[in-house]
């Protein structure tokens, strides 16, 4: 059970797919023009990723390792076709909005990456946890990026105006360049946070060490 | 649209990476050196044209007569995967020098959304065969251009002093953003 929770939560922060692992960048950059399309894309990927992880984990003993990549692609492509048909039936406006990026989920590196790195080596319940966690992390990131771009680029959030009246939207944020700039700045901010954390930890470690002769080899050898 | 317009639009105005946000993984992953960028870009041009030819014929003469259009995605990705395998084997036997320079990039191309994207876009735009091939070639050329430009910038970036938090991917993304901004200037051309 602990292991299950661990696999589930690692995708939410420690290995957050688009920001930490830099996997599956195409949909991240292309469909985050608005918060709602980011959320829709994220949910579609969540669905495909969880099921493909589960199926691949179930059949992992049967697939010969030489043709495994082709098998993984076939499985995920089948699921993507299912998602396409479901979206056409129940969420047609979203399907039109996402356009070509729905079929392109097949070549999203996250799906193949998790299949190869995790699902092909682990039992079913862990593979499902991994798929759910990674999918949720992906959905969160896409919604977050979509929110920033929509708020700055159009002054709305999920279609509702959220900024003051007379706000001049930066329309470049909802165009292609905005995606690159926005993701670049987010990654830089995350790096900055990580650096700060590391240097604070180093400083605390330095403060804890006894002052004066504490740092040299001889003392630590004596103490050890 | 005339042939010339499609050509210019696919390379500059609707550049596959900088305007349509397709094929970003190789764009950021393979743009550290100019040699690597050239190899990857050429391989993409080659595979995109071949894949468009195969998928166009399959769509026209196999899927449409039996009304299985909804299997498009599944069939196309399988065609691309087997095509890439086949091209790799062919090059290894027939043209070893070319294989030596393109070989390592070929397996990566199967999951390049550029290739699947172009084959699907061709079907959505309903191009004829010649037009489809031309469009595929121009799109591939646009990818090659974007990749080469980026590699040139990143080679210079290696010797620049970049803030620590920006080093690596963040600065590359910002550069891509600026490049994409300047490509927006082509919008008036077509």
Q: At a CB cut-off of 8 Å and minimum separation 6, what does B98 contact?
A: B91
- A183 touching chain B per CB within 8 A: yes
Q: Does residue A32 belong to any structural domain of this protein?
A: yes
Q: Does residue A33 belong to any structural domain of this protein?
A: yes
> Which pLDDT value is given to residue A216?
53
Q: Does residue A206 belong to any structural domain of this protein?
A: no
- If phi > 0 it is left, if psi is from -120 to 50 it is alpha, else beta; for residue A23 that is beta
Mutate which of A84, A101, A152, A180 to disrupt the B interface (most B C-beta within 10 Å)? Answer: A180
Q: Does residue A18 belong to any structural domain of this protein?
A: yes
- A109 touching chain B per CB within 8 A: yes
Tally of structural domains, chain A: 1
* Structural domain that includes position A49: 2-192
Residues A88, A89, A92, A97, Cα dihedral to 10° = -30
Checking if the pLDDT of B141 tops 90, the result is: yes
> Which pLDDT value is given to residue A224?
42
Q: Do B184 and A107 touch (CB under 8 A)?
A: no
Q: Does residue A216 belong to any structural domain of this protein?
A: no
Q: Do B170 and A100 touch (CB under 8 A)?
A: no
Q: What is the mean pLDDT of residues B151-174?
A: 87
Q: Does residue A220 belong to any structural domain of this protein?
A: no
Q: Does residue A12 belong to any structural domain of this protein?
A: yes
Of B73, B166, B171, the CB nearest to A80: B73
Q: Does residue A214 belong to any structural domain of this protein?
A: no
What are the DSSP calls for chain A, one per residue? -HHHHHHHHHTTTTT-IIIII---HHHHHHSTTSHHHHHHHHHHHHHHHHHHHHHHHHTTTTS-GGGHHHHHHHHHHHHHHHHHHHHHHH-HHHHHHHGGGTGGGGG-HHHHHHIIIIITTS-HHHHHHHHHHHHHHHHHHHHHHHHHHHHHHHSEETTEE-SPTT----GGGGSHHHHHHHHHHHHHHHHHHHHHHHHHHHHHHHHHSPSSGGGSHHHHHHH-
- The C-alpha of B6 sits at a distance from chain A's nearest C-alpha, in angstroms, of 19
Q: Do A26 and B121 touch (CB under 8 A)?
A: no
Bridge partners of A160, per DSSP, are: A157
> Which pLDDT value is given to residue A81?
93
The tens digit of pLDDT for each residue in B98-113 reads 787 776 677 778 778 8
Report residues of chain A scoring pLDDT below 50.
Answer: 214, 223-224
Of B111, B117, B177, the CB nearest to A109: B111
Q: How far is Cα B154 from Cα A136, in angstroms, rounded to an integer?
A: 33
Q: Do B24 and A29 touch (CB under 8 A)?
A: yes
- B111 touching chain A per CB within 8 A: yes
pTM summary value: 0.85
């Amino acid at each position: 059970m602990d292991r299950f929770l661990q696999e589930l939560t690692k995708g939410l922060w420690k290995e957050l797919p688009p920001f930490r692992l830099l996997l599956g960048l195409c949909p991240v950059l292309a469909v985050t023009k608005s918060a709602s399309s980011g959320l829709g894309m994220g949910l579609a990927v969540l669905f495909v990723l969880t099921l493909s992880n589960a199926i691949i984990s179930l059949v992992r003993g049967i697939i010969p390792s030489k043709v495994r990549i082709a098998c993984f692609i076939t499985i995920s492509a089948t699921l993507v076709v299912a998602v396409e048909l479901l979206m056409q039936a129940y969420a047609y406006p979203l399907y039109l909005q996402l356009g070509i990026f729905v079929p392109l989920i097949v070549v999203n590196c996250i799906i193949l990456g998790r299949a190869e790195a995790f699902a092909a080596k682990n039992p079913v319940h862990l593979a499902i946890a991994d798929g759910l966690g990674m999918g949720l992390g992906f959905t969160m990131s896409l919604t977050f990026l979509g929110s920033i771009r929509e708020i700055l680029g159009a002054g709305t959030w999920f279609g509702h105006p959220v900024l003051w009246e007379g706000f001049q939207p930066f329309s470049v944020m909802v165009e292609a360049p905005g995606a690159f700039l926005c993701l670049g700045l987010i990654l830089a901010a995350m790096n900055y946070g990580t650096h700060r954390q590391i240097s604070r930890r180093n400083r605390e470690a330095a403060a804890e060490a006894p002052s004066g002769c504490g740092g040299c080899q001889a003392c630590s050898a004596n103490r050890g | 649209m005339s042939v010339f317009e499609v050509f210019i639009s696919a390379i500059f105005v609707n550049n596959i990476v900088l305007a349509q946000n397709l094929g970003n993984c190789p764009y950021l992953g393979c743009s550290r050196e100019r040699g690597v960028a050239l190899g990857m870009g050429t391989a993409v041009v080659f595979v995109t044209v071949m894949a468009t030819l195969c998928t166009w014929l399959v769509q026209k003469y196999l899927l449409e007569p039996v009304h299985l259009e909804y299997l498009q995605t599944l069939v196309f990705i399988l065609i691309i995967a087997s095509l890439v395998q086949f091209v790799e084997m062919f090059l290894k036997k027939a043209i070893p020098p070319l294989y030596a320079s393109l070989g390592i990039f070929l397996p990566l191309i199967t999951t390049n959304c550029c290739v699947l994207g172009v084959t699907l876009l061709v079907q959505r735009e309903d191009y004829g065969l010649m037009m489809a091939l031309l469009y595929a070639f121009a799109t591939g050329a646009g990818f090659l251009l974007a990749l080469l430009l980026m590699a040139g910038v990143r080679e210079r970036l290696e010797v620049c002093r970049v803030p620590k938090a920006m080093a690596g991917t963040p600065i590359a993304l910002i550069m891509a953003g600026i490049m994409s901004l300047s490509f927006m200037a082509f919008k008036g051309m077509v």
